Amino acid sequence: MTALPIFPSHHPRPAAGASGRISLVGAGPGARDLLTLRALARLEEADVIFYDRLVDPEILNLARKGAERVYVGKAVGASAWPQEQIDAVIVAAARRGRRVVRLKSGDPCMFGRATEELAAARAAGIEVEIVPGVTAASAAGAALGRSLTERGATDRVVFATGTCRAGDPSPDWGAMLMPGTTLALYMGVAKLAEIRANLLAAGVPATAEVEIVCNASSAQEHLWRGTLAGVTRAAQVVNPAIILVRRPKPGAVVSQGLTAQVASIGA
């Protein structure tokens, strides 16, 4: 059997000395061996890396030694750097002919403000690409040792943020968690009480299972399980965390994960 080339011809490595370009790179959920080979290649050839708060230092250590590392400090729902400033610096660096890596946790196109950065690059006529990564919800399912979808029980996954833009209307929680759904909530920890109340008000059963996975894939990983009605005391849940709520189809039963170390949460 012939081994597949790591860099297939339709994704060529940028030539040395070529004009600058921007790669929006997914760093994955934390564990460095969940990084893709393409992400690693971009880190190894980068001139400058602009990275977020949730990117594990172990992953930055894989970058080319001489690469400049710039922390742009995006935290949940807030940013040390305003988005426009990030857009401007990545474009400016690429204009100077540098190979820019914009390193984001998980997948760059899941709640990662990729659209603004893509638009800024395109407006400036700079070559830009997306290198996908393992998103936190996938790592959360893996941590629990179960699938996010189950044939006949949950045949859809909804990825949603618990923290919308200030002033945006409240999401339609009932529509998000129709029977047959796994809801994966990002940035939801601070809003847990509100989300719980909204889901109950939308008719989601009080017995619906809720699982919370903190620091999925890292040494600090922690898992909780409870019911929707019970997740009232979540003070011990720390960020970053994914909240999974399952609402199987009527009469269907979802399986429990393989992972034993799941603490109970709530009443």
- Going along the chain, which residue ranges are E strands? 21-26, 48-51, 68-71, 74-75, 78-79, 99-104, 127-131, 156-161, 181-186, 209-214, 222-227, 241-247, 262-264
How many C-beta atoms lie closer than 10 Å to residue 126's C-beta?
18
Q: What is the distance between the alpha carbons of residues 149 and 69, in angstroms, rounded to a whole number?
A: 38
Nearest-approach distance from CB 12 to ligand SAH, in angstroms: 26
Q: Which residue's CB is nearer to ligand SAH, number 179 or number 257?
A: 257
Is 52 among the catalytic positions?
Answer: yes
b/e string for 197-219 if b means 16 or more Cβ within 10 A? ebbeeeebeeebbbbbbbbbbbe
Nearer to ligand SAH, 100 or 223 (CB): 223
Residues of span 217-256 touching ligand SAH by CB under 6 A: 217-218, 239-242
**CB 139 within 8 Å of CB 110:** no
Count of residues that bind ligand SAH according to CB under 6 A? 27
Which residues are CB-contacts of 151 (< 8 A; sequence separation ≥ 6)?
Answer: none
Percent helix / strand / coil, the chain, rounded to 5: 25, 25, 50
CB of residue 142 vs ligand SAH: minimum separation in angstroms? 11
For ligand SAH, which residue of 215, 226, 231, 245 counts as binding (CB under 6 A)?
215
Q: Which of 187, 204, 237, 262 is in the footprint of ligand SAH by CB under 6 A? A: 187
The residue of the chain with the least Cβ separation from ligand SAH equals 106
Minimum distance from residue 9 beta carbon to ligand SAH (Å):
28
On the CB side of 5, CA atoms within 13 Å amount to 7
Rounded Cα distance between 151 and 166, Å, is 37
The least distance separating ligand SAH from the CB of residue 99, rounded to whole angstroms, comes to 22
> Footprint of ligand SAH on residues 100-139 (CB under 6 A)?
104-107, 110-112, 135-136, 139
Q: Does 30 interact with ligand SAH (rule: CB under 6 A)?
A: yes
Binders in 53-82 for ligand SAH, by CB under 6 A:
54, 76
- Identify the CA nearest to 150 among candidates 18, 20, 249, 266: 249
Minimal distance in Å, beta carbon 135 to ligand SAH?
A: 3
Of the candidates 56, 74, 104, 107, the residue annotated as catalytic is: 74
Residues that bind ligand SAH (CB under 6 A): 29-30, 54, 76, 104-107, 110-112, 135-136, 139-140, 186-187, 213-218, 239-242
Catalytic residues: 52, 74
